[in-house]
Amino acid sequence: MGILLHFRLKLIQLVSFFCFPPQAGKIFFSTFISGSVAYDTILRFDGVFADHLLAGSLNTINLTFQTPNMDKHFGGCAANIAYSLKMTGGEPLIVTTVGKDSQDYLNHLQSLAIRTDGIKIIKNAFTPQAFITTDRLGNQMTAFHEGAMAWADQALPTENEKLDWAIVTPTATPVMKAHINYLNEHRIPTIWDMGQASAYLSGQDIGWFLEHVDVLTLSSYEWDVLKQKTGLDIKSVAQKLTATIITKGDKGALLYANGDSDYFPALTLNGPTYPVGCGDAFRGGLLRGLTLRWDWTDTLHLATLMGAIKAQSPEAQGYSVTTDEIARRFERAFGKTVNLKD
């Protein structure tokens, strides 16, 4: 798929020119974001998970963690990525399903000028819910109820929607495949974020996704799962794709593209940090760099910066920055002036 990326981008430009010539005015593209719009319940455990896992009793786990701190927030991978992308000046189009309890979330998105016309309401189901417990070292355990998201393959953009890039994040396997098939048919360059899908995908399924997307993003843990399930090494995976990006939390990210690899360290932060949603903010920055046609270095720097900005806020959608402020922080961090406006 990687060798087709340049062709796809040129095709998008040509179609836009002939269908909407310059005199017709500026063409506005949206970025397709597939995944969850979910309510997050965040629990904080003052201890360390590993201290309570007994090596000889892992087949009979029955644990209770006292969590004195609890918060409820708007979350979900798709919405979190859309939030980050909107902060950087992008135009996200969330394509998913929510449930009968979703109206306050839809109102929240609309208040941020994030479109909701790609979101379908399933009236006999609940909106997805995530219950996330974080220990004092930043390790996480998550229980997730997919609810209405099981029908997310029913959500698709309108026929006249203009798309520049897409990201497909973890949902049910048939839903991810349906959205990727749609994007392939419309020749939209696509990122697949493997995420929590690593837990239930077979090696054969993972192989299918690698053959049908342009860019792969995943954490270092998810990379280990991919290797185990497929038997592929990084060289084999990278050859299939335009880029492979492995995030390593506060240790930064690795990029494999154009036959080379590069390391992007995380930014140094002062004060407390909050890991929930940092990967989603990173992916929002990644998408913005790609839609602006930046090179990989600037794109990964923007992604790293957005992850760092989010890390200083306890809520996945609790930070607020302008494009001008992001540009100033980019220049301070990386010594380069950038323009985040189309």
The full DSSP string for 57-88 is: GGGG--------EEEEEEE-HHHHHHHHHHHT
Q: Are strands 92-98 and 38-44 parallel, antiparallel or unpaired?
A: unpaired
Q: What are phi and psi of 252, to 5 degrees?
A: 100, -150
Every domain of the chain and the residues it spans: 2-36+76-126+148-334
| 76, 36 Cβ separation under 8 angstroms | yes
Give the pair of three-digit tokens for residue 176: 């991810």
Query: Which pLDDT score, from 0 to 100, does residue 246 have?
Result: 98
User: Which residues are registered as beta bridge partners of 168?
Assistant: 34, 192
**Given pLDDT bands bounded at 50, 70 and 90, which one contains residue 319?**
very high
Per CATH, the number for 2-36+76-126+148-334 is: 3.40.1190.20
The answer on pLDDT for 8 being more than 80 is no
CA distances from 73 to 80, 129, 132, 292 (A): 11, 10, 11, 30
Q: Kindly give, in sequence order, each residue whose CB lies less than 8 Å from that of residue 64, ignoring residues fewer than 6 positions away.
A: none
Q: What is the pLDDT of residues 192-212, one digit of tens each?
A: 999 989 999 999 999 999 999
Axis-axis angle for helices 296-311, 278-291 (nearest 10): 150
**Given pLDDT bands bounded at 50, 70 and 90, which one contains residue 15?**
very low
Residue % of the chain over a pLDDT of 70: 92
| 160, 148 Cβ separation under 8 angstroms | no
Exposed e or buried b for every residue in 146-160, given b needs 16+ CB within 10 A?
Answer: bbbbbbbbebbbeee
Q: What is the pLDDT of residues 215-264, one digit of tens each?
A: 999 999 999 999 999 999 999 999 999 999 999 999 999 999 999 999 99
Average pLDDT of span 85-96? 98
CA nearest to 192, candidates 25, 17, 32, 75: 32
pTM of the model: 0.86
Query: Which pLDDT score, from 0 to 100, does residue 52 have?
Result: 86
